[in-house]
Amino acid sequence: MIFQSPKLFIIYLMISIFLYLIIPCATQISFNYSDFSDPTKYKPVTPTRNATNSGSMIQLTPDEVDNWGRATYSEQMHLWDKNSGNVANFTSNFSFIIDSRGKDRYSDGLMFFLSTPNFPDPSPTDSSGLGLVSRVQMEQPIFLATNKFVAVEFDTFHNAPWDPSYPVPEHVGININNMTSHNSTPWYCTIMQNRTYSASINYDSSTQNFSVSFTGFDNDTTPIQQHLSSIINLTLLLPEWVEFGFSASTGLLSELHILTAWSFESTSPLVNQKSPAPSVEKNKDELNKKLVVGLSVGACILIICLVVLYPVYKKKWRPSEEEEELVFDVSVDDEFEREWEQCVLHRDIKSSNIMLDSNLNAKLGDFGLARLVDHVKGSQTTALAGTMGYLAPECIMSGRASKESDVYSFGVVALEIACGRKPVEAKAKEDETILLEWIWELYGTRNLLKAADTRFCGDFDEQQMERLMVVGLWCAHPDYNVRPSIRKAIHVLDFEAALPILEPKMPMPTYLTPPILASTSSTGNSEDHYARSLSPGSYTGSSQFTTYSAAYTSTQ
């Protein structure tokens, strides 16, 4: 965060320290481990039993029979609050490898789990519970009553009578206090080929929807996205505080189970909760102590900061030359998207405004149309700004920009990079004129890679190319409510989250032209009324002609 004066910095520092000392910490959890090469970064992830660190990855089991291992997060998650009844939302994204090392017979699989804290080891050790429970424990009512779990299994071996009968032994299931899955689906994977898979597990407490998205391969070659979901009330199944992590096992057969990346984010069930006021007499001494400590430390910090920063203040806190450049290297992930009350709208993100420095790092330039706006309100001007082909449909109709419209432009740029052509090509075939519509059609027919830049001559990583294109479509979705945040888009591009599942046909926003528009004399009223006529939740198939398509083709 950059402060324009030392006064602001000092005030910010004092308030931060003071609040840190007197306000209890929030119970949400958030972390992102793109790899496990630095033990100081992933220290909270604890491998146990046969799980070990293996370079940049965590190996849950060796390629040996009768083994099991776990990797759990050291902090417990506050899943729900007994007093308020509030329940946390959470998202767990991870990448993993299950590799039989060429063997055509292998077992058993891995799982992501939430469980009662200090969950016991499987005893006696067997492979049927994927490193979490044993067959004997599953037959003991007392054990199940005191040790609860909800898990997502990636099972590679058919264990009768627990596992469902599918054409393939591999399957993904949602398990509730049992190794017989509550819901499951076949998993189309290639365990013999040492491939990396991604999965995303989400829980929406408002709908009680427990959903899983994961990657697979159709006919062992074509990457596909699979999904599974169930409606689950976790408050009836798990305690308030849970531990979470991964477990895996091998049995009479073996395979490698490796965790390559993991990100996790949960909300706090205490957010927006109006807790009953504590007793004044009971907590008076404790509160006074905290206030004294907070004010004392804050005063000390203030004095130190004044001494250190006074020479800088004498120089009027002039910005450096680097800060005056028009090309900025900003962290959109945290400061602009999450922490600041306002955000910067660029309003003209396009390929010609992106430059490369000497190290080939991309820099976004030309902030001539940029505006600092509130996160929710967005741009209040109705003057159309930007470049046709990169403009979101809602901007074309209303003239108002938002974070989502910048994300749309980013999506178009991503598609440009992947395909090596402009958003609108007047000389292209009729069904390929508009880049977004053409790529979406290929996505629906599972021929997405046909749009890849021909200058690559097919020499590219297919998974990376697919992710770039799918994220481009996701960001450029006609419905701004569906577009991801930059954080989510980056997670998918970095293989830290599963690919989103989009409609096979591109949805088109349709607009109802207000009958009084032509008779409205005031330009301002006309624009406002026209903006209110938008129906962002109303979509039709891509075959219908819309103002959105007309706006594109009018530039040819």
Residue for token pair 């909300």: 267
Task: Reply yes or no on whether the pLDDT at 19 is more than 50.
Answer: no
Look at residue 313 and tell me if it is in a domain: no
Same domain, 160 and 297: no
Cβ(385)–Cβ(369) under 8 Å? Answer: yes
Strand partners, 345: 371
- What does the block give as tokens for 15? 């308030």
Question: Domain boundary residue among 235, 266, 297?
Answer: 266
**pLDDT value of residue 255:** 87
Q: Tally the domains of the chain.
A: 3
Domain of 250, CATH number, reads: 2.60.120.200
**pLDDT value of residue 280:** 39
Report angle CA 29, 33, 36 to the nearest 5 degrees.
130
Same domain, 336 and 205: no
**pLDDT value of residue 493:** 86
Confidence of residue 326 (pLDDT cuts 50, 70, 90): very low
Look at residue 320 and tell me if it is in a domain: no
Cβ(365)–Cβ(354) under 8 Å? Answer: yes
Look at residue 325 and tell me if it is in a domain: no
**Between residues 116 and 36, which one has the greater pLDDT?**
116
Same domain, 71 and 193: yes
110: helix, strand or coil: strand
Which of 26-30, 104-108, 296-300 shows the lowest mean pLDDT across its residues?
A: 296-300
**pLDDT value of residue 87:** 93
**pLDDT value of residue 127:** 62
Confidence of residue 521 (pLDDT cuts 50, 70, 90): very low
What span, in angstroms and rounded, lies between the C-alpha atoms of 118 and 122? 12
What span, in angstroms and rounded, lies between the C-alpha atoms of 323 and 264? 34
What span, in angstroms and rounded, lies between the C-alpha atoms of 70 and 246? 5
What residue ranges in 298-345 does DSSP mark as E strands? 342-345
Same domain, 38 and 117: yes
Long-range Cβ pairs for the range 46-50 (8 Å, 24+): 46/71, 46/72, 46/73, 46/74, 47/71, 48/72, 49/121, 49/131
Give the residue-averaged pLDDT of 383-405: 69
Domain of 401, CATH number, reads: 1.10.510.10
Same domain, 73 and 181: yes
Look at residue 19 and tell me if it is in a domain: no
Output the CA–CA distances (angstroms, integers) from residue 32 to 203, 262, 266, 331, in the order listed.
18, 6, 12, 16
Confidence of residue 114 (pLDDT cuts 50, 70, 90): very high
Look at residue 256 and tell me if it is in a domain: yes
Give the residue-averaged pLDDT of 221-233: 88
From 261, 241, 27, select the one nearest 148 (Cα to Cα). Answer: 241
**pLDDT value of residue 173:** 93
Look at residue 73 and tell me if it is in a domain: yes
Which of 410-424, 461-475, 509-523 shows the lowest mean pLDDT across its residues?
A: 509-523
225: which residues sit within 8 A by CB, 6+ positions away?
213, 214, 215, 216, 498, 499, 500, 501
Look at residue 24 and tell me if it is in a domain: no
Express each pLDDT in 406-446 by its tens digit: 888 888 888 888 888 888 887 778 778 888 888 999 998 88
**pLDDT value of residue 347:** 65
- What does the block give as tokens for 398? 């209303």
Range of the domain at 443: 332-553
**Between residues 421 and 42, which one has the greater pLDDT?**
421
Express each pLDDT in 252-305 by its tens digit: 888 889 999 899 999 888 754 443 433 434 444 544 554 555 555 555 555 555
Same domain, 257 and 349: no
Average pLDDT, the chain: 73
Give the residue-averaged pLDDT of 183-204: 89
Report angle CA 132, 135, 136 to the nearest 5 degrees.
110
Confidence of residue 210 (pLDDT cuts 50, 70, 90): very high
- What does the block give as tokens for 302? 């203030």
Same domain, 55 and 151: yes
Same domain, 280 and 349: no
What span, in angstroms and rounded, lies between the C-alpha atoms of 556 and 546? 16
Task: Reply yes or no on whether the pLDDT at 325 is more than 60.
Answer: no
Task: Reply yes or no on whether the pLDDT at 534 is more than 80.
Answer: no
From 237, 250, 255, 256, select the one nearest 122 (Cα to Cα). Answer: 250
Same domain, 232 and 286: no
Same domain, 136 and 91: yes
Give the residue-averaged pLDDT of 150-175: 85
- What does the block give as tokens for 463? 């998974």
Is 23 exposed, middle or buried, given 0-12, 13-18 or 19+ CB atoms closer than 10 A? exposed
Task: Reply yes or no on whether the pLDDT at 24 is more than 90.
Answer: no
Task: Reply yes or no on whether the pLDDT at 334 is more than 50.
Answer: no
Look at residue 7 and tell me if it is in a domain: no
Same domain, 202 and 291: no
Same domain, 71 and 172: yes
**pLDDT value of residue 374:** 57
Express each pLDDT in 44-71 by its tens digit: 787 778 788 877 888 888 888 888 888 8
The reply to whether the predicted model has a pTM over 0.75 is no
Report angle CA 491, 171, 87 to the nearest 5 degrees.
55
